[in-house]
Amino acid sequence: MQYRKFGNTDLSVSEIGFGAWAIGGGAMIGNTSIGWGDSDDLVSINAIHTAIEAGINFFDTADIYGLGHSEKLIGEVIGNRSDIIVATKVGNVSRNDQFTVDYTKEYIIEACEKSLMRLQRERIDYYQLHTARLEHLQQGECIEAMQLLESHGKIRYWGLSLNTFDPMPEANFLMDNNYGNGFQLVLNMLNQKTVPFLNEMNEKGYGVIARMPLQFGLLTGKFDNGVSFPDNDHRKKRVTKEVIDKTNSALKPVWDLCQKYSCTKTQLALSYILCYPAVSTVIPGIRNPQQVALNTTGLFALSTEDRMLIEELGETKLLEVMDLIKQQG
């Protein structure tokens, strides 16, 4: 495992981190799935242990994942270990069987205490506002709450998990005001919206967490022959046959690179993201020990020529795929 510096902090993070959404299980808010289908806690716990053995030292979760269950599992295994970096998020809320958001100062401080209890930690290494939008940041309460938590030693560093389709207004607000220490953003071969801004984030001292590197499994190849998701898996309405077919058609020149590099689609997708030095860590979702191996082995240095091929497609054919994905939410 290789490690990278997280912005201007003193954190050194594994290039591959542990995305812990899926281990939260198939939670529902009303009739809306916010999870990845049913999960087995024993398998999830084994996956966490296996990840640590593989050199993963960065675990990313959120209080909304499994309605706190993901945090509890991480707390059970990792607890207050100082050699493991735990990041979580705040702001997405379930109230009265409805999904909503709350970025008020009072709520964030209360939610942080609850996350600390579930995680069994004295301090959260990296605390993130969960897809807060520009209006929330401008109101200032959430910024004040994060600064207060930092000054009180409840969190070491903080940042913002950016929204999927229009991330830069919020990122620019933080950078312009020198707020926070990092960004979590969507970056994969399909969604390259943030690529032009990576160097600026790096130059201004922000760490970068790349999430959804495999676009909900779409870039692994395992759905190429079709797939059926249960009702409590959010991908049921997102990873459709139309999306799969259009993705593979648009990415045909890219998938041909798998033969050149003797790699899997997963290895190519992850290696593409790691070719950007400004990226601190990539967090594929992991729910079992087998996925630890799939996501941490066989990574390689992508050539500049091949990176440019992927970027060129990102500005042309892949835009149509992203439009379809956006329509489906």
Q: Give tens-digit pLDDT for 57-99.
A: 999 999 999 999 999 999 999 999 999 999 999 999 999 989 9
Sequence-distant (6+) residues with CB within 8 A of 286 are 18, 19, 20, 22, 23, 47, 51, 292, 295
Mean residue pLDDT of the chain comes to 94
pTM, whole model, 2 decimals?
0.95
Domain ranges of the chain: 3-216+265-302
- 27-41, 149-163, 174-188, range with the lowest pLDDT: 27-41
What average pLDDT score do residues 130-155 get?
98
What average pLDDT score do residues 127-142 get?
97
Sequence-distant (6+) residues with CB within 8 A of 281 are 4, 6, 13, 14, 15, 16, 17, 58, 207, 208, 209, 210
Q: Residue 270 in contact with residue 213, Cβ under 8 Å?
A: yes
Residue 256 has a pLDDT of: 94
What average pLDDT score do residues 46-54 get?
98
Residue 221 has a pLDDT of: 86
**Looking at the predicted structure, is the pLDDT value of residue 219 above 80?**
yes
**Looking at the predicted structure, is the pLDDT value of residue 328 above 80?**
no
In which band, very low, low, confident or very high, does the pLDDT at 229 lie, cut at 50, 70 and 90? Answer: confident
Place of tokens 């692994």: 220
CATH of 3-216+265-302, one of 3.40.190.80, 3.40.50.970, 3.10.580.10, 3.20.20.100: 3.20.20.100
Q: Give SS3 for 56.
A: coil
pLDDT per residue as tens digits for the range 194-218: 999 999 999 999 999 999 999 988 8
Residue 240 has a pLDDT of: 84
What average pLDDT score do residues 119-142 get?
98
pLDDT per residue as tens digits for the range 240-299: 888 888 888 989 999 999 999 999 999 999 999 999 999 999 999 999 999 999 999 999
CA-CA distance, 322 to 165, in Å (whole number)?
9
Residue 31 has a pLDDT of: 85
Sequence-distant (6+) residues with CB within 8 A of 204 are 175, 178
Query: DSSP secondary structure string, 133-169?
Result: -HHHHHH-HHHHHHHHHHHTTSEEEEEEE--SS--HH
- Could you give phi then psi for residue 155, rounded to 5 degrees? -135, 150
Residue 296 has a pLDDT of: 98
- Could you give phi then psi for residue 57, rounded to 5 degrees? -125, 10
Residue 281 has a pLDDT of: 99
In which band, very low, low, confident or very high, does the pLDDT at 303 lie, cut at 50, 70 and 90? Answer: very high
**Other CB atoms within 10 A of residue 100 CB:** 11
- Could you give phi then psi for residue 115, rounded to 5 degrees? -65, -40
Strand (E) or helix (H) holding 307? helix 304-314
